[in-house]
Amino acid sequence: MVFRIFFLLLGFGFSVSGGISLVAYLNLLTAGYSIIDYFMFITVRIETIFFIIGIFLIWTSIYFPFRQKK
């Protein structure tokens, strides 16, 4: 159970840090970049990887089955 909470909090931290950065990069659209340029830019950033890993860790910690000791 402790590992699930740890992975939930770790995933939450990764997804928040990545998500905030991705939202901040939306300012590129106001600077004249197109939506295609924005997506090409965020695909090579480490923040996108953090966001994806964070979502995966959250999903795994919530939905992965576990055994309880008797």
Q: Domains of the chain: which residue ranges?
A: 2-62
Q: What average pLDDT does range 33-48 have in this prediction?
A: 94
Gap between the Cα atoms of 25 and 21, Å rounded: 6
Q: How far is Cα 42 from Cα 68, in angstroms, rounded to an integer?
A: 41
Give tens-digit pLDDT for 6-31.
999 999 999 999 999 999 999 999 99
Q: What pTM value is reported for the model?
A: 0.83
- Dmax over CA atoms of the chain, in Å, equals 61
Instruction: For 60-70, write each residue's pLDDT tens digit.
Output: 999 887 776 66
